[in-house]
């Protein structure tokens, strides 16, 4: 076809493809940014939950055999987190506890006291299903009544606080993303509708020379698909660059990295670019196809 058109396309009144791609890209980018935020916040709460632990202090002067049997008894409890089938329960000897104490406080009590006043303990990691104030209290109680157990402690205030905050932040984030999603869809729809508005008389002329609706629609839908795809692609590239930058600037963020989920968000983003573009242009062209001449003016 192009060999018959050595002249450049008329600029005025032609389909503003660049504007459309730009708008869709921006919209998808913002949505993607929000999705990344949600993803990382979610992972953060998981990391926090995984790090909640019970400290089980043992009575003094217990035989190592008893310590081992106690460890395996606690290990069988349902609230203990398991990794690769292994219960996450660790023994901390008096000496290790002393070392840790000295490292944390900077006070070397061994110079004052002849005896190590600290107790042997277990650090028990908790299954995240038990990450609730009451359930944790029950779990602690179950351990506490065992023989040889002196005391069970856990950061009770931290638990309820984190729980409340996660719920609140999650609700706010999801609420915002729903509003954002709606705004984005409307924005893209409007952009495409406006872009196609410039084509309404062209569409009418096509109808008048006997072209069927489907035939008229096809190129518009194809354009929208291509534009949606490229918008999605550009948005994804921008997001990837931003994410990479964030990881390089904030090393701790690396712990929250979930490549697979990020990649699927990228895929969904590109796909929704295509889908929203396609649906919007279908809607707009159908509308102009149904309009009478008087309504077009």
Partner 1 sequence: MFGSSTIVSVKKANILQDDAVILKDINFEIEKGEFCYLIGRTGSGKSSLLKTLYADLPFKQGEIKVANFEINKISRSKIPLLRRKIGIIFQDFQLLNDRSVYDNLLFVLKATGWSEPSKIKIRITDVLVKVGLSGLASKMPHQLSGGEQQRIVVARALLNEPLILLADEPTGNLDPEVSEDIMRIFFEINKSGTAVLMATHNHQLIDKYPSRILKVEQGKVLDSAKGEFTYAKQ
Residues of this chain that bind partner 1 (CB under 8 A): 1, 4-7, 9-10, 13-14, 202, 204-213, 215-216, 293-294
Report the nearest approach of partner 1 to the CB of residue 186 (Å): 28
Q: Which is nearer to partner 1, 10 or 83 (CB)?
A: 10
Report the nearest approach of partner 1 to the CB of residue 222 (Å): 14
**CB of 234 within 8 A of CB of 18?**
no
Q: How many residues does the chain have?
A: 297
Report the nearest approach of partner 1 to the CB of residue 34 (Å): 38
Report the nearest approach of partner 1 to the CB of residue 188 (Å): 23
Report the nearest approach of partner 1 to the CB of residue 292 (Å): 8
Distance CA 233, CA 25 (A): 8
**CB of 153 within 8 A of CB of 55?**
yes
Backbone angles phi and psi of 123, in degrees to 5: -100, 120
Q: Which is nearer to partner 1, 212 or 255 (CB)?
A: 212
Backbone angles phi and psi of 152, in degrees to 5: -125, 130
| Tokens, residue 111 | 């110079």
Q: Which is nearer to partner 1, 55 or 207 (CB)?
A: 207
**CB of 126 within 8 A of CB of 77?**
no
Q: Which is nearer to partner 1, 10 or 76 (CB)?
A: 10
- Map residue 162 onto helix, strand or coil: helix
Q: Which is nearer to partner 1, 93 or 207 (CB)?
A: 207
Residue with tokens 């944390």: 104
| Tokens, residue 234 | 């550009």
Q: Which is nearer to partner 1, 126 or 206 (CB)?
A: 206
Report the nearest approach of partner 1 to the CB of residue 49 (Å): 59
Q: Which is nearer to partner 1, 6 or 251 (CB)?
A: 6
| Tokens, residue 273 | 């670019």
Of 51, 62, 12, 40, whose CA–CA distance to 239 is shortest? 40
Strand blocks (E) in the chain:
53-58, 82-83, 86-87, 89-92, 121-125, 149-153
Report the nearest approach of partner 1 to the CB of residue 7 (Å): 5
213 by Cβ neighbours in 10 Å (0-12 / 13-18 / 19+) ranks as: middle
């Amino acid at each position: 076809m192009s060999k018959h058109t050595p002249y450049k396309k008329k600029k005025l009144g032609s389909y503003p493809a660049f504007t459309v791609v730009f708008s869709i890209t921006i919209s998808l980018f913002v949505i993607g940014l929000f999705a990344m935020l949600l993803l990382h916040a979610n992972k953060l709460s998981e990391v926090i939950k995984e790090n909640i632990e019970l400290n089980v202090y043992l009575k003094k002067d217990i035989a190592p055999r008893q310590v081992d049997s106690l460890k395996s008894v606690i290990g069988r409890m349902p609230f203990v987190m398991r990794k690769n089938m292994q219960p996450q329960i660790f023994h901390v000897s008096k000496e290790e506890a002393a070392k840790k104490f000295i490292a944390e406080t900077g006070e070397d009590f061994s110079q004052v006291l002849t005896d190590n006043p600290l107790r042997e303990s277990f650090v028990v990691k908790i299954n995240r299903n038990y990450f609730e104030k009451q359930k944790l209290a029950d779990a602690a109680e179950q351990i506490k009544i065992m023989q040889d157990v002196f005391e069970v402690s856990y950061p009770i205030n931290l638990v309820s606080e984190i729980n409340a905050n996660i719920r609140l932040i999650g609700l706010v984030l999801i609420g915002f993303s729903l509003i954002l999603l709606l705004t984005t869809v409307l924005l893209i729809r409007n952009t495409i509708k406006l872009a196609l508005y410039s084509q309404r008389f062209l569409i009418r002329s096509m109808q008048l020379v006997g072209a069927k609706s489907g035939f008229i629609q096809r190129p518009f839908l194809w354009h929208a698909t291509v534009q949606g795809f490229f918008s999605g692609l550009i948005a994804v590239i921008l997001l990837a660059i931003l994410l990479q930058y964030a990881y390089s600037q904030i090393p701790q963020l690396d712990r929250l990295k979930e490549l697979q989920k990020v990649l699927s968000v990228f895929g969904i983003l590109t796909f929704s670019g295509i889908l929203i573009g396609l649906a919007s242009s279908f809607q707009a062209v159908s509308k102009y196809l149904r309009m009478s001449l008087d309504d077009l003016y």
